[in-house]
Amino acid sequence: MLLSDRVAIITGGAKGIGRAISLRFAEEGCSVAIADILEDRAQETATEISGKGKEAIGIKCDVTNSKQVSDMVAKVISKFGKIDILVNDAGALPSHFPAEDLPEEEWDKIVNLNLKSQFLCCKAVIPHMKEKRYGKIVNISSIGARHAVGADVHYAAAKTGVLGLTLDLAFELAPSNITVNAVLPGPIPTDFWSTPPTPQMLEGMAKSVPMQRVGTPDDIARVVLFFASELSAWVTGEHLLVSGGTPMRPNLPI
Cα angle 215, 219, 220 (rounded to 5 degrees) comes to 105
Whether the model clears a pTM of 0.75, i.e. scores above it, the answer is yes
**Is residue 250 in a domain?**
no
Task: Return the CATH number at 94.
Answer: 3.40.50.720
**Cβ distance 91 to 35 under 8 Å?**
no
Q: Just list the catalytic residues.
A: 155
Residue 230 belongs to some domain of the structure:
yes
Its domain, for residue 213, covers 7-244
What residues does 56 pair with on adjacent strands?
A: 32
For residue 211, tell me if it sits in a domain: yes
Q: Is residue 34 part of a domain?
A: yes
41-87: per-residue pLDDT in tens? 999 999 999 999 999 999 999 999 999 999 999 999 999 999 999 99
- Give a yes or no: residue 38 inside a domain: yes
Task: Confirm whether 213 is domain-assigned.
Answer: yes
Task: Find, among 168, 143, 25, the residue nearest to 87 by Cα.
Answer: 25
Q: What is the pLDDT of residue 210?
A: 84
Domain count, the chain: 1
Q: What is the pLDDT of residues 90-140, one digit of tens each?
A: 998 778 899 999 999 999 999 999 999 999 999 999 999 999 999 999 999
Q: What's the pLDDT score for residue 252?
A: 46
Residue 1 lies in a domain: no
User: Does some domain include residue 252?
Assistant: no
Strand-pairing partners, residue 178, are 135
Please state, in angstroms and rounded to a whole number, the distance separating the CA atoms of residues 142 and 151: 15
**Average pLDDT for 201-211:** 81
End-to-end CA distance of the chain: 36
pLDDT category at 32 given cuts 50, 70, 90 is very high
Q: In what order do the strands lie in the sheet with 31-36?
A: 56-60, 31-36, 7-11, 85-88, 135-140, 178-185, 239-242
